[in-house]
Amino acid sequence: MPPASQAELFTASSTKEIRDILWKAADKLRGSLDAAQYKEFVLGLIFLKYVSDAFEERRTALAKELADEGIAEDRLEEFLEDKDEYTGHNVFWVPEEARWSWISAHAKAQGVGRLLDEAMDAIMRENAALTSVLPKIFNQDRVDQKVLAGLVDLISDARFSGHGEKPAQDVLGEVYEYFLGNFARAEGKKGGEFYTPSSVVRLLVEILEPYEGRVYDPCCGSGGMFVQAGKFIKAHAGQTSNISVFGQELNERTWRLAKMNLAIHGIDGNLGPRWGNTFDDDKHPDLKADFILANPPFNIKDWPRDESDPRWKYGVPPKNNANYAWLQHMISKLGECGTAGIVLANGSMSSQQNGEGEIRRSLVDNDLVACMVALPAQLFRTTQIPVCLWFLSRDKTPQGGKRLADRRGEILFVDARNMGTLIDRTERILTEDDLAKIADTFHAWRGTASARSAGLGYVDEPGFCFSANLETVRSHGYVLTPGRYVGAVETEEEDAEALAERIATLTDELFELFDKSAGLARTVREQLGMLDG
């Protein structure tokens, strides 16, 4: 009899069932692997399955094409092994020894860990876009090879096709995203460095509407912003080839995850030749983007700061907080009509410390701020810091043929703190209705084509949204907290929010110290154990 999870996979009828079963099985592999390596380990397997499935799908289609053309059977193999027949259709070339069917058939006889490492190496050798991307960490003593072989069997048995209208690629993509989310939850605060909650990403994309042009994320994590942009385009009957994707990521392992994530969703992105810090090693120095979507790390204190940097056109950001460095970096990357949506901690809307108030004043006076959205608490399981969205724009004019509303000298404020639905005790999501209401409000205010076609007109809604002119913003001391403008929140409540953010920041720092303490304690115990031996 097969294991229970394997038997379940034979009858799994939905993507949710498949991903839940695979997650439970993969969790058994955790063992002594650290969380970051374990994440790379499991997602690497899913990626290998994806490239192999895509290869076999193209191979099957090619065989049919050749048969229809009357190619003799004795010549079929020659054509089926023509690399150009695959790469020409945006399919990675997978050598025979790296194909999932070959690995699964030979795993027990030749050692699954060794075969997987060799497969990763072979795929990277044959596909320049994957150079230095795939993990080669499977043939290690601390990896339980029997459990690994069982996981390979499970992934082999998973029915990634035959789920309604969804192609296998979409099912695998959803499994990959599900695993990313689960890893983020498991890793706590560190998980937030590579994963942004999907409802927050969707809100950014729904507001910016990146149908075509250059899309940029200077701190792209695992690439979720790009994936969601691709989904948005497909949902509106567009082609993902209409956008050019540019990104950068500081963490090596996360950069690898992003490269795999884009590939598994069929997105050809330029994430630079390697990872690097955006502030002192910009991988896209000449880029001018049409759309920027970003969730930079909140309130980072240790960042490479050069006071003479030409990006600090609106004021030099403080040493102990990079929030306004991120904002100005993104402004420097905007094209003439470019727009940006950025997730930041709420403190960025009102801070007066270390010159941040003066920088914010300059951004407002230069009419770069288009919209501010206050989000509900608990959207981020990885941190309790309350967050907001900044929407920046180079050009708030009607832009000629686009026939937009003229919003020069105005800022839209949206207070969405009372929105969202708790899915458990600690995590909240924005519902479809929430996303639609916020996005529709922005589009009605801006007078976009989508708003005009839906017959939407903008009006202020007390307690939810308000369009303020710059004189009104100046009268509030350039504080950009929506509660000050929409008419439902008193200053005292805003002060309480600032206090809550400070407490949340200190709590995160305390838990981080706890984690370090626990790690040191483990090391000391291990060293003492070696002495006893």
CATH of residue 87's domain is: 1.20.1260.30
Give the end of a domain, one of 142, 160, 182. 182
Say what the pLDDT of residue 4 is. Answer: 46
Domain that holds residue 462: 196-503
Q: Do residues 165 and 308 share a domain?
A: no
The secondary structure element, H or E, covering residue 244 is strand 243-247
Q: Do residues 228 and 173 share a domain?
A: no
Q: Do residues 256 and 113 share a domain?
A: no
Say what the pLDDT of residue 424 is. Answer: 80
Digit-coded pLDDT (tens) for 482-514: 999 998 544 444 455 555 655 655 665 666 666
The predicted model gives 248-253 an average pLDDT of 91
Q: Are 331 and 315 in contact (CB under 8 A)?
A: no
Place of tokens 């509900």: 376
Say what the pLDDT of residue 9 is. Answer: 46
Q: Are 256 and 40 in contact (CB under 8 A)?
A: yes
The predicted model gives 431-438 an average pLDDT of 97
214: Cβ contacts below 8 Å, ≥ 6 apart: 243, 244, 246, 287, 288, 289, 290, 291, 335
Distance (Å, rounded) from C-alpha 405 to C-alpha 449? 10
Q: Which pair of structure tokens corresponds to residue 401? A: 């043929």
Q: Is the pLDDT of residue 10 over 50?
A: no
Give the end of a domain, one of 135, 160, 182. 182
Residue bearing the bigger pLDDT, 314 or 137 = 314
Residue 531 lies in a domain: no
Give the neighbor-by-neighbor strand order of the sheet with 334-345.
Answer: 269-270, 243-247, 213-217, 289-294, 334-345, 387-393, 369-374, 410-415, 465-469
Residue 187 lies in a domain: no
Q: To 5 degrees, how large is the angle CA 386–CA 345–CA 315?
A: 160
**C-beta neighbour count of 342 within 10 angstroms:** 22
Instruction: Sort 309 into a burial class: Cβ within 10 Å, 0-12 / 13-18 / 19+.
Output: middle
Residue 511 lies in a domain: no
Q: Is the pLDDT of residue 529 over 80?
A: no
Q: Do residues 265 and 356 share a domain?
A: yes
247 pairs with which residues across the strands?
217
Digit-coded pLDDT (tens) for 325-376: 999 999 999 999 999 999 999 999 999 989 999 999 999 999 999 999 999 9
Q: Which pair of structure tokens corresponds to residue 331? A: 């402004």
214 pairs with which residues across the strands?
244
Q: Which pair of structure tokens corresponds to residue 300? A: 């980072």
Q: Do residues 84 and 223 share a domain?
A: no
Amino acid present at 447? G
Q: Do residues 445 and 353 share a domain?
A: yes
Question: Range with the lowest mean pLDDT among 20-29, 309-318, 409-418?
Answer: 20-29
Distance (Å, rounded) from C-alpha 296 to C-alpha 348? 12
What is the distance of C-alpha 523 from the center of its chain?
33
The predicted model gives 24-45 an average pLDDT of 73
Provide the 8-state DSSP code for 318: P
Digit-coded pLDDT (tens) for 145-200: 888 888 888 778 766 655 555 666 677 777 777 877 777 766 655 544 557 888 99
Amino acid present at 255? W
Give the end of a domain, one of 149, 182, 215. 182
Q: Do residues 165 and 209 share a domain?
A: no
Say what the pLDDT of residue 396 is. Answer: 98
Q: How many domains does the chain have?
A: 2
Residue 528 lies in a domain: no
Q: Do residues 56 and 84 share a domain?
A: yes
Residue 512 lies in a domain: no
- Domain harbouring 436, CATH code: 3.40.50.150
Task: Pinpoint the alpha helices (H) of 31-87.
Answer: 35-68, 73-80, 84-87
Q: Do residues 161 and 237 share a domain?
A: no
Most confident of 85-89, 113-117, 150-154, 167-171: 113-117
Say what the pLDDT of residue 148 is. Answer: 84
Task: Identify the three-state secondary structure at position 163.
Answer: strand
Amino acid present at 489? V
Please tell me whether the overall predicted TM-score, pTM, comes out greater than 0.95 for this model. Answer: no
Distance (Å, rounded) from C-alpha 363 to C-alpha 45? 46
Q: Do residues 176 and 56 share a domain?
A: yes
Q: Do residues 288 and 177 share a domain?
A: no
Residue 522 lies in a domain: no
243 pairs with which residues across the strands?
213
Place of tokens 């950069």: 255
Q: To 5 degrees, how large is the angle CA 105–CA 106–CA 107?
A: 100
Q: Do residues 345 and 458 share a domain?
A: yes
